[in-house]
């Protein structure tokens, strides 16, 4: 990712290589991706997803808590001012680690959390977007994040056993009471977005989307037209055909395949806000470095012409 000029002078080669690498890393900034609006908030278009700082199966504490805390702090140091989390990550663990690492929060940092799932074990998720559950979920997130108001609160997923309008009206009341600043959606279809907007303003949509998984192309196009931010989750999802195309492009532009995948998302639409997640400082630096990567138009067009087969998380 970085080129280092080696100078053949005894005892100086290693030092100068390390200095060059350090300067390159310090120049990385999420701000290079530009900005996007979330209601009255403006954030850099390279965020951080905090699901992976939990334990295996998104359950319990991380294997290396110190690394998780360091990764959160490093992301913010590199200009990330949007962190995405959820009460179900852990459950509660991700939000607690964010507060431990970053509270009191720096000015301008936006934390977007979610509610609508219950957890019964590793890798197990149960719908619950009932008014009673969402009210308790908002209170729990406020407590764990040490906030008086949540900047962006997302319905994590519509509950097939609960009226969608009832879920949204509950969040709208929480907003009126000052507990939520802005409301957003996750894992939804276009119908949900249109119905929700009749109840309350929607500032963002978060759906599964990546270079290799374009299931929600039409919803991203809708968001771009309406000026709604679109957060692709699993933004680095891949398959064999996608790997081949990304690897070729990466060699052409001198970046990693992951960086090319993120750069493609940034160029796909001006409202995309990738939130790649990791529990590694090295990986968070690699991801954020993609904010400054602009794919040449022929490369972007060639990648966009790839039509990956439909993706399935069930294998």
Model confidence pLDDT, tens digit, residues 101-114: 999 999 999 999 99
**Residue 313's pLDDT is what?**
64
What mean pLDDT comes out for the span 19-45?
81
Count of H-run helices and E-run strands, the chain: 11, 11
Catalytic position from the list 48, 89, 153, 209: 89
| Residue reference for tokens 């009191």 | 104
Q: Residues 46, 50, 53, CA angle at the centre, nearest 5°?
A: 135
Q: Look up residue 229 and give its two tokens.
A: 């931010």
Domains of the chain: 32-304 (3.20.20.100)
Overall average pLDDT of the 268-290 stretch? 97
Residue 238, pLDDT above cutoff 80: no
Burial 86-106 (b: 16+ CB within 10 A, else e): bbbbbbbbbbbbbbebbeebe
Rounded CA separation 254/23 (Å): 18
DSSP code of residue 277:
B
Confidence at residue 19, expressed as pLDDT on a 0 to 100 scale: 33
Alpha helices per DSSP H over the chain: 13-26, 65-77, 93-102, 131-145, 164-176, 190-197, 217-226, 240-253, 257-268, 281-289, 297-304
* Average pLDDT of the residues of the chain: 91
- Clarify whether 89 is annotated catalytic: yes
Distance CA 68, CA 252 (A): 33
User: Mind giving me the DSSP string for 98-120?
Assistant: HHHHHPSPPTT-EEEEEE-EEEE
Residue-level pLDDT at 49: 97
Determine how β-strand 48-49 pairs with β-strand 41-44: unpaired
Q: How far apart are CA 183 and CA 196, in angstroms?
A: 10
Q: What pLDDT score was predicted for residue 234?
A: 86
Strand partners, 185: 155, 205
* Distances 236 to 86, 113, 198, 212, 249 between C-alpha atoms, Å: 19, 21, 33, 8, 15
**Other residues' Cβ atoms within 10 Å of the Cβ of residue 194:** 13
- Tell me the percentage of the chain whose pLDDT exceeds 90: 85
Q: What is the DSSP letter of 234?
A: S
The confidence score (pLDDT) of residue 239 equals 60
**pLDDT-derived band at 314, boundaries 50, 70, 90:** low
Residue 16 is predicted with a pLDDT of: 33
Q: What is the mean pLDDT of residues 267-281?
A: 97
């Amino acid at each position: 990712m970085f080129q280092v000029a080696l100078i053949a002078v005894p005892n100086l080669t290693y030092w100068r290589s390390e200095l060059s690498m350090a300067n390159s890393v310090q120049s990385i900034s999420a701000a290079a991706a530009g900005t996007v609006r979330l209601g009255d908030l403006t954030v850099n278009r390279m965020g951080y997803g905090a699901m992976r700082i939990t334990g295996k199966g998104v359950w319990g504490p991380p294997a290396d808590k110190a690394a998780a805390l360091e990764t959160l702090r490093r992301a913010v140091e590199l200009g990330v001012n949007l962190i995405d989390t959820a009460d179900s990550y852990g459950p509660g663990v991700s939000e607690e680690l964010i507060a431990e690492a970053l509270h009191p929060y720096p000015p301008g940092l936006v934390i977007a959390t979610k509610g609508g799932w219950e957890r019964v074990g590793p890798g197990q998720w149960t719908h619950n977007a009932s008014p009673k559950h969402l009210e308790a979920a908002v209170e729990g997130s406020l407590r764990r994040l040490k906030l008086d108001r949540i900047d962006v609160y997302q319905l994590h997923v519509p509950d097939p056993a609960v009226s969608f309008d009832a879920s949204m009206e509950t969040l709208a009341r929480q907003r009126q009471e000052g507990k939520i600043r802005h409301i957003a959606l996750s894992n939804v279809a276009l119908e949900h977005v249109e119905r929700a907007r009749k109840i309350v303003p929607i500032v963002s949509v978060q759906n599964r989307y990546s270079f290799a998984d374009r299931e929600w192309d039409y919803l991203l196009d809708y968001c771009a037209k309406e000026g709604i931010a679109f957060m692709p989750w699993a933004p680095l999802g891949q398959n064999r055909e996608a790997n081949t195309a990304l690897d070729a492009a990466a060699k052409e532009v001198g970046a990693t395949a992951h960086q090319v995948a993120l750069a493609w998302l940034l160029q796909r639409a001006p409202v995309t806000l990738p939130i790649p997640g990791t529990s590694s400082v090295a990986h968070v630096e690699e991801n954020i470095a993609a904010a400054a990567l602009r794919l040449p138009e022929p490369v972007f067009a060639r990648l966009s012409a790839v039509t990956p087969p439909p993706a399935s998380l069930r294998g």
